[in-house]
Chain A
């Protein structure tokens, strides 16, 4: 086998394909059935992460890669989560300032 090539049974690709269809149908169902609040957000995130995980792990073959390349890809992405956290707080602060401003100016 040449450098870097992989062989996997056909079955696993079809299995993941079907799984992705099912998860997509479920996440569409969340909207169709009008779930609200934390149930909605939780389910959306759950199906999103499941889909992303399966695409990354099986379709992009990350599951079979060696640790050095997996961590080189995934670790920088953790920085995004930090940024997300910062901007989440920033946005609520902005909203608060806007509300106070409109309260004072009567806008």
Chain B
């Protein structure tokens, strides 16, 4: 009989680094700061929340017998006597993208520990975000005045209202929370907390420029969600 060796040799081919690391029985995600990994995990869970909203929107829109309102007309704005389709939504899209741009630069200057530029760019991001929320308030007001409710609307399928308020409302909440935290982070950066390692009033953890990058991840995610909402809800 052939003798069986007690040791098992497993050759791991290259390109399986991810699995090796997940199975390493140590800290997974080597080289990634703890807070950043946690933010990514939160964002994955938030992806599920927004995905489920968008999928329920698809299900409702495909299964209703009533005609779906044409967003191009519902969200049109009158400039003089001309009706421009989706004008406000387009402006909101460009504002959010600009805010993402300033945030990306803030993260870059955060890496370089450039206190002032980082703070000013985060402040600019917060202002862009706040104006986005302001426009959303305007849009909600306009639609509510026109008689759009979660259970009915004058344009067509009654489900339109509930989907609109739920999806844009949830996204708007995310933007609002982001704006609040951006103001806090901008103040921290300006005061030099990230350079001196001053402890946070709530967490008592030492401040670090990593926080700017984590803030950036959240903000870009908010922009990312808007890309999908813009495509599926407003354009489709």
Taking a contact as CB atoms closer than 8 A, the residue among B63, B90, B112 that contacts A28 in the complex is B90
Output the nearest chain A residue to B230 by Cβ-Cβ distance: A27
Q: Is B138 an interface residue (CB 8 A)?
A: no
* Residues of B17-46 contacting chain A, CB below 8 A: 17-18, 21-22, 28-33, 36-37, 40, 43-44
Q: B137-149 CB contact bits vs A (8 Å, 1 = yes)?
A: 0000000000000
In the complex with contacts A55-B100, A60-B220, A84-B55, A99-B94 CB distance below 8 A: no
- Which of the four size classes fits the interface of chain A? 35 or more
List chain A residues, Cβ under 8 A from B217: 60
In the complex with contacts A4-B33, A91-B58, A95-B62, A67-B18 CB distance below 8 A: yes
Q: Is B86 an interface residue (CB 8 A)?
A: yes
List chain B residues, Cβ under 8 A from A99: 65
- Which of the four size classes fits the interface of chain B? 35 or more
CA–CA, A48 to B37, complex, Å?
Answer: 26
Which residues of A does B touch, CB under 8 Å? 3-8, 10, 13-14, 16-17, 20-21, 24, 27-28, 30-32, 40-41, 44-45, 47-48, 51-52, 55-56, 58-61, 65-73, 76-77, 80, 83-84, 87-88, 90-92, 94-95, 98-99, 102
